[in-house]
């Protein structure tokens, strides 16, 4: 009897460990499910209601049920056709966002390209080159991150107006050609690279431009792709500044164009939801294709393998 009791006691800690591990796993899974539900529920709601008309949307709105989020009948793609101006009704009601999608796409791409040029050059200066007072200059650049956009929007508008860029496409691009936040991130990526890289390249006869192009950039490529994704998302989702800088509907980015449909008469909700899906799709697809580089940049040690 004593032998059986001793064997039972010897297995108790192991059993307790397994039970504790199982409970921890269930709690973790529950937390992940809650987070997933919080993020996916609005997306499912918009996606489900984008393929049915306004009457069906309001009919299933209350009480809240599975039919509120997922359509089981009356599914149609007409809302997407109307939002892109592919039907006479959509063009007549001014629901064509194809031009606005083009404005958002081109402005985002141009800003990302200019950002890579100017921000990379600035980060290279702050992280690799010696210059008197460089730390104070970096603090000054970073201090601009603390200023809310609403505070500088009036001076920024005055500058853009003096340059003659208001009511033009370039009003959506020029103010964002460089970003102190991106400069800060790229400075951190480049600072992690060993200084011996620069010294070895200098001994081989490379100048500063060649060091940046052939040594630094290949080693911080995941970081460059990450900041490009962040900058693209920022410009794509920009709403406040375009609302001030341009008033021509043809120059509206897609976010402003969608918001302009919400008038006193109320929007066509099915078409509005379809436009929201189309506006979200480029950023989602871009992240899915570039997520490998995004996670690499998060774990990047600074030395390329």
Question: Taking the domains of the chain in order of start, what are their residue ranges?
Answer: 13-92, 104-260
On the question of pLDDT at 9 being above 70, the answer is: no
On the question of pLDDT at 109 being above 90, the answer is: yes
Please give the pLDDT value at position 173: 92
C-alpha dihedral (156, 162, 166, 172), degrees to nearest 10: -50
Half-sphere exposure of 237 (CA within 13 A, CB side): 10
Query: Average pLDDT for residues 120-149, to the nearest whole number?
Result: 86
Please give the pLDDT value at position 299: 58
230-269 confidence digits (pLDDT tens): 899 999 999 989 989 998 888 999 999 888 887 666 678 8
The CATH class given to the 104-260 domain equals mainly alpha
What share of the chain has pLDDT > 70, as a percent? 88
Please give the pLDDT value at position 303: 44
On the question of pLDDT at 301 being above 60, the answer is: no
- The kind and range of the H/E element at 261 are none
Tokens 């060649």 found at: 210
With cut-offs at 50, 70 and 90, classify the pLDDT of residue 162: very high
Please give the pLDDT value at position 136: 87
Mean pLDDT score across all residues of the chain: 84
More confidently predicted of 298 and 81: 81
Please give the pLDDT value at position 248: 87
Please give the pLDDT value at position 261: 80
Please give the pLDDT value at position 252: 92
Query: Average pLDDT for residues 156-179, to the nearest whole number?
Result: 90
On the question of pLDDT at 12 being above 70, the answer is: no
Among candidate residues 131, 124, 142, 133, the one with its CA nearest the CA of residue 193 = 124
183-200 confidence digits (pLDDT tens): 988 998 888 888 888 888
Please give the pLDDT value at position 169: 93
Sign (positive or negative) of CA dihedral 217, 220, 221, 227: negative
Please give the pLDDT value at position 220: 87
Q: Round to whole Å and give the CA distance between 257 and 236.
A: 12
């Amino acid at each position: 009897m004593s032998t059986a009791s001793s064997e039972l006691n010897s297995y108790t800690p192991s059993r307790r460990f397994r039970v504790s591990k199982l409970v921890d796993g269930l709690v973790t899974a529950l937390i992940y499910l809650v987070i997933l539900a919080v993020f996916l529920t609005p997306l499912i709601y918009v996606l489900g209601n984008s393929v049915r008309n306004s009457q069906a949307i309001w009919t299933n709105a209350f009480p809240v049920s599975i039919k509120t989020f997922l359509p089981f009948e009356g599914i149609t793609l007409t809302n997407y056709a109307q939002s892109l101006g592919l039907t006479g009704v959509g063009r007549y009601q001014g629901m064509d966002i194809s031009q606005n999608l083009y404005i958002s796409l081109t402005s985002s791409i141009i800003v990302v390209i200019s950002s890579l040029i100017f921000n990379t050059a600035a980060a290279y200066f702050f992280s690799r080159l010696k210059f008197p007072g460089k730390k104070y200059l970096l603090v000054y650049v970073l201090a601009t991150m603390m200023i809310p956009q609403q505070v500088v929007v009036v001076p920024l508008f005055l500058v853009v107006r003096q340059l003659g860029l208001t009511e033009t496409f370039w009003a959506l691009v020029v103010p964002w050609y460089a970003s102190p936040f991106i400069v800060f991130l790229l400075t951190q990526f480049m600072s992690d690279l060993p200084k011996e890289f620069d010294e070895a390249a200098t001994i081989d006869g490379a100048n500063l431009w060649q060091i940046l192009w052939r040594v630094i950039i290949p080693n911080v490529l995941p970081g460059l792709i990450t900041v490009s994704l962040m900058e693209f998302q920022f410009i794509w989702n920009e709403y406040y500044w375009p609302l001030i800088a341009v008033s021509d509907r043809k120059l509206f980015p897609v976010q402003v164009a969608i918001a302009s449909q919400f008038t006193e008469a109320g929007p066509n909700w099915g078409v509005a939801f379809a436009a929201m899906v189309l506006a979200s799709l480029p950023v989602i697809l871009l992240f899915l294709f570039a997520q490998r580089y995004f996670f690499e940049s998060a774990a990047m040690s600074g030395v390329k393998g």
